[in-house]
Amino acid sequence: MKPLLLLILSFLPLAADARWAASYEKAFVQAKEQEKSVLVMLSQDNCKACWYMENIVFEDEVLIEKIEKEYVMLYLDVHDDDIHGLDYSGTPTLYFLSSDDKVLKRLNGVYNIKELTAAMLKIEKPEKKKELK
């Protein structure tokens, strides 16, 4: 009974971690299906600011809820992953891309929760009229 419970318990958090899309292609497929845009985070090792974005900002439930309404989230390591020609001068760099791969907005460097929330308000929605909440 107990080992079984442990097994299942160790199994659930794995299944629950669906925040980041599995690949560049899949992110856009998903974005098209759900009529969303794609939020790309470019990251790398040895980057404290990236750590902060990943583990604090993109773990903030309230912010995540807002993001997931409009974006499919995609995490790319600039060294390990194919970043499909996205330009960057450093990391973290955030890209907001429409589902047909147009750059809606690029943000350089670290943003805390409040700053990112504010910056996102400024992004023009690709199809719908922009509405400030």
Partner 1 sequence: MKKIIALLLLTLSLIAGTKFLMPEEAFMPSAQLINGESIDASMKLGDKIYIYKEQFKFTLKGDSTLKIADATVKNVAEDHEGEMVYLDDVEATITFSKEDGSAANETVTLVMHYQGCSEAGLCYEPSTKEFVFDITTASLPTTSAMSNDITKDTALVEEGSANDQFGASETDEIVEALKGGSILTILAVFFGIGVVLSLTPCIFPMIPILSSIIVSQGEDISAKRGFMLSLVYVVAMAFAYSIAGVLAGIFGENLQVLLQNPYAIGGFALVFIALALSMFGFYEIGLPASWQSKLSSASDSASSKGGFVGVAVMGFLSALIVGPCVAPGLAGALIYIGQTGNAALGGAALFVMSIGMGLPLLLIGAGAGKFMPRPGGWMDTLTHVFGAVMLAIAIWMLSRILPDTATMLLWAVFFMFSAVYMGALEPLEVGKRSWNALVKAMGVLFMIYGALLFSGALSGSTSMFTPLDQFTDKGTAVVQGTVATQTSATQFKIIHSGAELDAILEANKDKTVMLDFAAEWCSSCKEMEHITFADVGVKAKMGEFILVQADVTDNTDEERALTKRFGLFGPPGILFFKDAKEIKNARIIGYQPPEKFLAHLNKL
Distance between CA atoms of 29 and 44, rounded to whole angstroms? Answer: 25
Residue from 39, 67, 70, 91 binding partner 1 (CB under 8 A): 91
Whole-number minimum distance, CB 16 to partner 1, in Å?
A: 8
Footprint of partner 1 on 30-49 (CB under 8 A) = 30, 33-34, 44-49
Whole-number minimum distance, CB 109 to partner 1, in Å?
A: 4
**What is the pattern of x (binds partner 1, CB under 8 A) and - over residues 5-34?**
x-xx-xxxxxx-xx--xxx--x--xx--xx
Footprint of partner 1 on 48-77 (CB under 8 A) = 48-53, 55-57, 59-63
Distance between CA atoms of 67 and 72, rounded to whole angstroms? Answer: 8
Distance between CA atoms of 107 and 93, rounded to whole angstroms? Answer: 6
Residue 117 identity = T
Cα distances (Å, whole numbers) of residue 91 to 53, 99, 121? 10, 23, 22
Cα distances (Å, whole numbers) of residue 21 to 9, 31, 74, 114? 23, 10, 5, 24
Kindly calculate the radius of gyration of the chain based on its CA atoms and give it in whole angstroms. 16
89 contacts partner 1 (rule: CB under 8 A): yes
**By the criterion CB under 8 A, which residues form the site for partner 1?**
1, 3-5, 7-8, 10-15, 17-18, 21-23, 26, 29-30, 33-34, 44-53, 55-57, 59-63, 78, 89-92, 107-115, 117-119, 121-122
